[in-house]
C-alpha cells in the first residue's frame, strides 16, 4: 500500500493532494499540522526535530499546530474522517 511504504508525512501529503515539498512550502495550512502530528506520533520525533524537518519552525510552533489540528478535527467532520482514515492506514503497517 502506498501509505505504508512512504511514511506518515508522505501519506499526509498524498491525502492532502500535494507532494512533501509542497507540504513544506505552504504556511498556515492544516495539513502541515497534521503531518507534524503524525511525525511526532508515528516517527517518535521531538517537536524540535519535527519543526526542523518541516521547514525550520520552532518546537513551540509544532505544538501550536498540533493543538490547532485538534480544534479543527472537532469542528470539521469531513476533515476528521479523512484524518481517521489516514491514521488507520498508517496503523496497519
pLDDT by residue (tens digit) across 8-29? Answer: 778 888 888 888 888 878 777 8
pLDDT by residue (tens digit) across 39-71? Answer: 887 777 788 888 887 777 788 888 888 899 999
Pairwise CA distance, residues 55 & 21, whole Å = 10
Whether pTM exceeds 0.85: no
Q: How far is CA 14 from CA 48, 59, 60, 85, in A?
A: 24, 24, 26, 13
**Could you tell me the domains of the chain?**
2-91 (1.10.1750.10)
Indicate the pLDDT class of residue 78, thresholds 50, 70 and 90: very high
Amino acid at each position: 500500500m502506498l501509505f505504508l511504504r512512504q511514511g506518515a508525512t508522505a501519506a499526509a501529503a498524498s491525502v492532502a493532494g500535494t507532494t512533501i515539498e509542497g507540504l513544506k512550502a505552504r504556511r498556515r495550512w492544516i495539513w502541515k499540522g497534521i503531518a507534524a502530528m503524525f511525525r511526532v506520533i508515528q516517527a517518535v520525533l521531538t517537536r524540535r526535530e519535527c519543526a526542523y524537518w518541516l521547514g525550520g519552525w520552532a518546537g513551540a510552533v509544532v505544538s501550536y499546530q498540533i493543538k490547532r489540528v485538534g480544534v479543527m478535527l472537532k469542528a470539521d467532520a469531513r476533515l476528521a474522517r479523512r484524518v481517521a482514515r489516514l491514521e488507520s492506514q498508517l496503523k496497519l503497517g
